[in-house]
């Protein structure tokens, strides 16, 4: 009795991430975090825009020129993709919070819908921007 | 069997911090608000982008635009701050690094929000009647 070693129960462990087969719900889960970080950046860009607008035409012109450059447009398009994916996948999360849509097949289907929506909505908004002249000059 | 606490956690017997629900609800309520605010933001960006400096000033001179943009910034920083906090807490193990990044998260987010809000007010109040 006195010789008994202190007992530490083995704690439950999940397999390392590399042990999982890639599946679509895993990809959308990871993408939700990645796009969230992207939107954090987008929020800082938006705050910078307001600051530039309050700082006069010269600074605003420089800032708008940065956003309108090729790199700026790539960043803004990325933020658009992040936004629409995060919205669609966030809606999945809100539905799950009510205990609905958690069956594997349903979750797979809504994952693909979220991805497709993000692509279509982002491209659509940028086509609209091109048509309305928002991308010009 | 369903007790996943460590031996030390069981001995202390303090349970959870009882603050998790606030984060959970705040994240979701702000998510619903941001669904509307960001869609408004996309539509606004489309209408403002081609108008140059004067067009943007005129757009922000509207109290409605200024108020909704301010809400977008505030609720966005709140929601993004909660999300970034979760990411930091999940992936950063070292307590000092974790604390430093959590503080940085708060400083960057609310610093940007303060700058943006004052800027919005400056433009909208400076626009005259």
Tens of pLDDT along A29-56? 999 999 999 999 999 999 999 999 999 9
- Write the CB contacts of B48 (distance below 8 Å, at least 6 apart in sequence): B55, B56, B59
Residue A5, pLDDT score: 61
Note the pLDDT tens digit of each residue in B13-50. 777 777 778 899 999 999 999 999 999 999 999 999 98
Q: What is d(CA A94, CA B96) in angstroms, rounded to the nearest whole number?
A: 34
Instruction: Please say if the pLDDT value at position B70 is more than 70.
Output: yes
Taking a C-beta distance cutoff of 8 angstroms, is the pair B49, A134 a contact?
A: yes
Q: What is d(CA A115, CA B53) in angstroms, rounded to the nearest whole number?
A: 35
Q: What residues of A are in contact with residue B47 (Cβ under 8 Å)?
A: 134
Residues of chain B with pLDDT > 70, as a percent, come to 96
Cα B61 off chain centre by: 24
Cα A29 off chain centre by: 10
Residue B1, pLDDT score: 46
Name which of B2, B50, B75, B109 to mutate to probe chain A: the one with the most chain A Cβ atoms within 10 A of its Cβ.
Answer: B50
Which DSSP letter does residue A18 get? G
What is the average pLDDT across A54-73?
Answer: 96
Residue bearing tokens 């909208």:
B124
Q: What is d(CA A61, CA A132) in angstroms, rounded to the nearest whole number?
A: 20
> Which pTM value belongs to this model?
0.88
Q: What residues of A are in contact with residue B118 (Cβ under 8 Å)?
A: 54
Residue B2, pLDDT score: 59
> To the nearest 10°, the Cα dihedral for A113, A115, A119, A121?
50
Other Cβ atoms within 10 Å of A64 Cβ, number: 20
Instruction: Please say if the pLDDT value at position A6 is more than 80.
Output: no
Under an 8 A CB cutoff, do B31 and A90 touch?
yes
Backbone angles phi, psi at A97, to 5 degrees: -60, -25
Q: What is d(CA A134, CA B48) in angstroms, rounded to the nearest whole number?
A: 7
Under an 8 A CB cutoff, do B119 and A37 touch?
no
B56 and A CB contact within 8 Å = yes
Model confidence band, residue A81 (pLDDT cutoffs 50, 70, 90):
very high
Residue bearing tokens 């460590």:
B6
Residue bearing tokens 């603050």:
B19
Number of H helices, E strands in chain A: 4, 0
Question: Comparing A9-13, A26-30, A44-48, A87-91, which segment has the lowest mean pLDDT?
Answer: A9-13
Taking a C-beta distance cutoff of 8 angstroms, is the pair B68, B43 a contact?
A: no
Mean pLDDT of chain A: 92
A74 and B CB contact within 8 Å = no
Taking a C-beta distance cutoff of 8 angstroms, is the pair B28, A94 a contact?
A: yes
Model confidence band, residue B129 (pLDDT cutoffs 50, 70, 90):
low
Mean pLDDT of chain B: 92
Other Cβ atoms within 10 Å of A34 Cβ, number: 13
Q: What residues of A are in contact with residue B42 (Cβ under 8 Å)?
A: 80, 83, 125
Report, in angstroms and rounded to the nearest whole number, the Rg of chain A calculated over CA atoms.
22
- In total, the C-beta contacts within 8 angstroms joining chain A to chain B are 97
- Write the CB contacts of A55 (distance below 8 Å, at least 6 apart in sequence): B119
Residue B127, pLDDT score: 80
Residue B110, pLDDT score: 98
Question: Comparing A32-36, A71-75, A127-131, B17-21, which segment has the lowest mean pLDDT?
Answer: B17-21
Tokens of B86: 């979760």
Instruction: Please say if the pLDDT value at position A104 is more than 80.
Output: yes
Instruction: Please say if the pLDDT value at position A137 is more than 90.
Output: no
B113 and A CB contact within 8 Å = yes
Instruction: Please say if the pLDDT value at position A11 is more than 90.
Output: no
Q: What residues of B are in contact with residue A37 (Cβ under 8 Å)?
A: 84, 87
State the ipTM, two decimals: 0.88
Residue B14, pLDDT score: 78
């Amino acid at each position: 009795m006195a010789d008994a070693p202190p007992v530490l129960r083995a704690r439950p462990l999940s397999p390392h991430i590399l042990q999982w087969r890639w599946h679509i719900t895993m990809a959308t889960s990871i993408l939700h975090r990645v796009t969230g970080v992207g939107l954090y950046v987008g929020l800082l860009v938006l705050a910078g825009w307001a600051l530039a607008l309050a700082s006069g035409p010269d600074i605003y012109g420089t800032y708008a020129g940065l956003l309108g450059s090729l790199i700026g447009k790539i960043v803004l398009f990325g933020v658009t993709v992040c936004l629409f994916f995060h919205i669609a996948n966030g809606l999945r999360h809100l539905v799950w919070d009510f205990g609905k849509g958690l069956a594997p097949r349903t979750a797979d289907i809504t994952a693909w819908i979220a991805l497709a929506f993000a692509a279509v909505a982002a491209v659509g908004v940028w086509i609209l921007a091109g048509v309305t002249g928002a991308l010009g000059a | 069997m369903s007790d996943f606490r460590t031996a030390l956690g069981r001995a202390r017997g303090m349970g959870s911090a009882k603050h998790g629900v606030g984060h959970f609800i705040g994240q979701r309520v702000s998510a619903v608000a941001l669904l509307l605010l960001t869609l408004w933001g996309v539509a606004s960006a489309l209408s403002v982008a081609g108008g140059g400096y004067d067009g943007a000033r005129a757009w922000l001179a509207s109290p409605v635009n200024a108020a909704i943009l301010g809400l977008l910034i505030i609720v966005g920083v709140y929601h993004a701050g909660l999300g970034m906090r979760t990411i930091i807490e999940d992936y950063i193990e070292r307590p000092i690094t974790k604390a430093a990044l959590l503080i940085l998260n708060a400083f960057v987010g609310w610093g940007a929000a303060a700058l943006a809000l004052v800027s919005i007010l400056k433009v909208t109040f400076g626009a005259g009647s």
